[in-house]
Amino acid sequence: MPDRAPEAPSSPVELHPRADSEPTSSRALVPLPREEREEPDAGERLSDVDSWGRSERVRSLVRRIYDPVYRNWFRAQWEGLENIPRTGGALLIANHAGAIPNDAPVIMHGVEKELGRPVYGLADNLFRAMPVVGTLWSRGGGVAAHPDNAYRLLHDDGQLALVFPEGTKGPGKHYRDRYRLRRFGRGGFVAIAMRAGVPVVPITVVGSEETMPLLYKSARGAKLLNVPYVPVTVNMLLLGPLGIVTPLPAKFRLRVLPPVHFDVPPDQERYSRSRVMEEAERIREDMQESLYDMLRERRSVWFG
């Protein structure tokens, strides 16, 4: 059984587990081992670009630009930051919501601002494939969501990695279903944490659901844009074209729950599927309870 601390007061994508007979998919981009990686081109040879493509200079610029939004628009308020390890690898997971989710940048910015630790966001490889956007995404700490990438970040590099176990099901929720966690896939995040020998640190977020509420999903134009659907949001009705990229100023509250450790040996090829699913569901239940508790305490959407 895991060594679990008492519960705290009351599109990154799913990582598929290496459990039982299910092999790891190799469709996503996976970086080569360090000794096999080619040197970057002269145009990319920046002194602060790491092997994942992250640039601290770019992140510093992003932090300066984004900080007024973080402080004055979303007015982010944290509790339980002491539960995030100051050193070593840890897998951060959180609930995911909003037609264009704002939880990922808020979490990454907040942890880097408050703790001074970089956070790598694991997300769909779609961003990587887009010209210009893909490069900026990598420079800002984005990494293609793949079990091997997560393992190397957590185990080899000892970094913080952020993933959303609900995957695309989170942002795809209608507003009427807000703060009801979707199933955590096949528990891939638990299997990765077990394999890497690191804790899972759950984060519950209140506020993201109201920044860009999804009213319905339109199929029109989806094929042209190569997306499953085109979201129609409250923001679009209120702000017109500006509503496509402008979030509403809901106040963010974020709660970091105690880290979950697993008493299993790392670096195993496979872990029990039933054990992985059991741990994933237990973590999901803890996060759901935390969300309900935070909603009971909330005075208003806009002022917390």
pLDDT, residue 261, reads 97
pLDDT at 38 over 50: no
pLDDT, residue 232, reads 84
Q: Which of 20-24, 78-82, 296-300 has the lowest mean pLDDT?
A: 20-24
Identify the band that residue 127 occupies on the pLDDT scale cut at 50, 70 and 90.
low
Q: What percent of the chain has pLDDT over 90?
A: 58
pLDDT, residue 244, reads 86
- CA–CA gap between residue 169 and residue 214 (Å, rounded): 12
Query: Measured between alpha carbons, how far is residue 275 from residues 14, 19, 93, 194 in Å?
Result: 18, 10, 18, 11
Dihedral sign from CA coordinates of 121, 243, 78, 183: negative
Identify the band that residue 60 occupies on the pLDDT scale cut at 50, 70 and 90.
very high
| pTM for this entry | 0.81
pLDDT, residue 131, reads 61
Identify the band that residue 6 occupies on the pLDDT scale cut at 50, 70 and 90.
very low
Tens digits of per-residue pLDDT, 285-299? 999 999 999 999 999
HEC string of the chain equals CCEECCCCCCCCCCCCCCECCCCCCCCCCCCCCHHHCCCCCHHHCCCCECCCCCEHHHHHHHHHHHHHHHHHHCCCEEECHHHCCCCCCEEEEECCCCCCCCHHHHHHHHHHHHHCCCEEEEECCHHHHCCCHHHHHHHCCEEECCHHHHHHHHHHCCCEEEECCCHHHCCCCCHHHCCCCCCCCCCHHHHHHHHHCCCEEEEEEECHHHHCCEEEEECCCHHHHCCCCEEEEHHHHHHHHHHHCCCCCCCCEEEECCCEECCCCCCCCCECHHHHHHHHHHHHHHHHHHHHHHHHHCCCCCCC
- Are the beta carbons of 150 and 117 closer than 8 angstroms? no
Tens digits of per-residue pLDDT, 103-121? 999 999 999 999 999 999 9
What average pLDDT score do residues 186-195 get? 95
pLDDT, residue 89, reads 97
Mean pLDDT of the chain: 83
Q: Which of 4-8, 197-201, 231-235, 270-274 has the lowest mean pLDDT?
A: 4-8
Identify the band that residue 21 occupies on the pLDDT scale cut at 50, 70 and 90.
very low
pLDDT, residue 204, reads 98
Tens digits of per-residue pLDDT, 162-185? 999 998 787 878 888 899 999 998
Which domains are assigned to the chain?
A: 6-15+48-209+251-294 (3.40.1130.10)
pLDDT, residue 277, reads 96
